[in-house]
Chains A and B, each alone.
Chain A
Amino acid sequence: DTAVSQTPKYLVTQMGNDKSIKCEQNLGHDTMYWYKQDSKKFLKIMFSYNNKELIINETVPNRFSPKSPDKAHLNLHINSLELGDSAVYFCASSHLRDQPQHFGDGTRLSIL
């Protein structure tokens, strides 16, 4: 069974569209994260939720909106997609005060 699963794995869309990426974890963790890996492979935290509460919101455009319906799910919605949003987005989970973080397989978002 996949511990952290993201869907879709690939997302190709036009500039200006709105899209969502879903993430689910079955590890019983209380904290979930979104990371962005850019074209140079640099990984940076975007958001984190602990028990459905937003605890990290790094300097991310407000076109990005995370939503956590429960502590096993953390979705990422992106409005008005721009070329610069092309990247691989990783979901991860862990216990807040324990580690390590377990990562999903990533979603490659390509903006045409």
Chain B
Amino acid sequence: AQTVTQSQPEMSVQEAETVTLSCTYDTSESDYYLFWYKQPPSRQMILVIRQEAYKQQNATENRFSVNFQKAAKSFSLKISDSQLGDAAMYFCAYRTYSGNTGKLIFGQGTTLQVKP
């Protein structure tokens, strides 16, 4: 069974600085999707970025980018020019490419604090 691990329960960053959140996963599959979701105090689940495992190029979305290391099964999220609105809990998630369920498997989450 696939597992997702986020080893940093809490992180903090100074406003305008850069922070990296770590995520590792375990799978025997070769094709899958990886996601980062943001959950602010309002508790909404907001998709930040996604990566298809068959793509070698790291995904980027404005200030958010990932470092996808398939062999190492690592999927870290880099937030550049951190803003106060980035303060939230961040979840890494795995989804199989094949199969007929589509379920997401989540990590434990990392709470990000942004200091002014």
Contact = CB atoms under 8 A, between A and B. Distances in A.
A27 interface: no
Given A41-B89, A41-B109, A42-B109, A101 B43 contact: no
Interface of A: 31, 33, 35, 40-45, 48, 50, 55-56, 88, 90, 92, 94, 96-97, 99-103, 105-106, 108
Contacts of A35: 104
B102 A94 contact: yes
Nearest to B109: A41
Give the dominant DSSP class at B's interface.
strand
Nearest to B52: A99
Indicate the size class of the contact surface on chain B: 20 to 34
B48 to A, nearest CB: 10
A97 B35 CA distance: 15
B28 interface: no
22 contacts: A40-B108, A41-B39, A41-B89, A41-B108, A41-B109, A42-B109, A45-B103, A48-B101, A48-B102, A48-B103, A55-B101, A88-B43, A90-B45, A99-B33, A99-B102, A100-B33, A100-B50, A103-B44, A103-B45, A105-B43, A106-B43, A108-B43
